[in-house]
Amino acid sequence: VKTLGILGNGQLGQMLADSIAEQTDLAVNLYDLRAYDETSLQEFLASNDRISYETENIPAHIVAQMESVEAKIFPNLTSLKTFQNRITEKNALRAAGIATADFHAVNCLADIHDAIAQLGLPIIMKTTTEGYDGKGQFVLRQTEDAQACWDDIGHRELIAEAFVPFIREISVIGSRSENGEIKVWPMTENIHHEGILRYSLYPAHGFSVEKQAIAQRYIEQIATNLDYVGTITLELFEIEDNLIANEVAPRVHNSGHWSIEGAFTSQFRNHMLAVTGQEITSTESRFPATAMINVISDEGPTSAASNMTETYVHSYGKEARPARKLGHVTITAKDTAERDAKISQLEGLIPAGVWQK
């Protein structure tokens, strides 16, 4: 493989390209999906030996064009399509033996009432496609809200999900190579605020070897079932004695950014190695504790981070806009106490009350 094309040129595409920059016999080309036109896309698909993508939110007319070069798409198109829709996604997870919330497909107002009868309340209602950062969701708390829910996000296919009373949110990321080898990073705890990931911690609070093993098994089962090649992310809800899958990202994930400095091989690099047909390498962490803090819009004095030791500031070179991810800061530490003390020094990056709430 001499040329790899990546659909999408945001920060994930950039970090993917950066992760393998030293491999000078591999040219990585990024395609700006927002500047799409049929001719330029056809040209891009034809001119690269292999094609990958930094996002699953690829419109159907573009996916249709990708069909013609299906054999060079990594991860494969079946995986992309499966994880573009929350219903096919949950069915695939269940088929792979992975626990999910109970759910019900909703295509009209009457279906919402069926969902309430079947799942009880509250229900998390979501559009089946295109949602991210909590957009396209409605928390249905009482039967009387059914109409308001349908008017707000409905008039299109929805999924009703039983509410999972989770202890904390976790994600696990793994990479699978063409020869079927799978390597999995240690899972992280993820803290959200207003629908957006704010920070990820390794190790997670209440880290347990048993739960890491479940997470690892889940990744292996879903990736193997789909003959998936590349980096894959599973967002999970931790409950008392199990992990419940929330959603899959068929790509590198914000909660894995810590791996650039924190692991022997980053989530980006193993993705690039896998999709170009190479062997993947160690996902072990290099430090006892790490944290990744997102810089959202212009909230943060990232300058505060630049004079702290073992602290790495990544800036995506984007203009500030409300709720926009502009960069992230990674902290490595000798233990969780040191890590948490360092995060406290960067509290300005995290909205009040969200750090150690």
Residues contributing to the site for Mg ion (CB under 5 A)? 235, 247
Q: Are 205 and 303 in contact (CB under 8 A)?
A: no
Looking from the CA of 237 toward its CB, the CA atoms found within 13 Å total 15
Q: Which of residues 218-257 bind ligand ATP (CB under 6 A)?
A: 235, 246-247
Residue among 6, 20, 66, 101 that touches ligand ATP (CB under 6 A):
101
| Minimum CB–partner distance for residue 83 and Mg ion (Å) | 9
User: Any contact of residue 351 with ligand ATP (CB under 6 A)?
Assistant: no
Distance (Å, whole) CA 180 – CA 148: 47
Q: Which is nearer to Mg ion, 145 or 235 (CB)?
A: 235
Neighbours of 122 (CB within 10 A): 15
Residue among 201, 344, 217, 342 at smallest CA distance from 262: 201
> Binding partner of residue 284 among Mg ion, ligand ATP, none, CB under 5 to 8 Å per kind?
none
Instruction: Provide the b/e sequence for 161-196 (b: ≥16 CB within 10 Å).
Output: bbbbebeebbbbbbbbbbeeebbbbbbbbbbebeeb
Residue type, 320: A
* Residue 120 in contact with ligand ATP, rule: CB under 6 A: no
Residue 165 beta carbon to Mg ion: minimum distance, rounded to whole angstroms: 17
> From residue 44 to residue 73, what is the string marking binding to ligand ATP with x (rule CB under 6 A)?
------------------------------
Residue closer to ligand ATP, measured from CB, 134 or 206: 134
CB of 63 to Mg ion, least distance (A): 17
Could you list the residues known to form a binding site for ATP, using ranges.
86, 126, 131-137, 161-164, 169, 192, 246-247
Cα 183–chain centre separation: 17
Q: Point out which span in 16-24, 51-59, 77-85, 161-169 binds ligand ATP (CB under 6 A).
A: 161-169
- The span from the CA of 313 to the CA of 322, in Å, is 20
Q: What's the min distance (Å) between Cβ of 171 and Mg ion?
A: 9
**Residue at token pair 């030791």:** 309
89 binds, among ligand ATP, Mg ion, none (CB under 5 to 8 A by kind): none
Cα–Cα distance measured from residue 236 to residue 217, given in angstroms and rounded to the nearest whole number: 13
CB of 95 to ligand ATP, least distance (A): 19
Which listed residue (54, 89, 169, 238) binds ligand ATP by CB under 6 A?
169
Query: CB 312 → Mg ion: shortest distance, Å?
Result: 25
**Residue 89 within binding range of ligand ATP, rule CB under 6 A:** no
Q: Of 229, 332, 272, give the one whose Cα is nearest residue 22.
A: 272
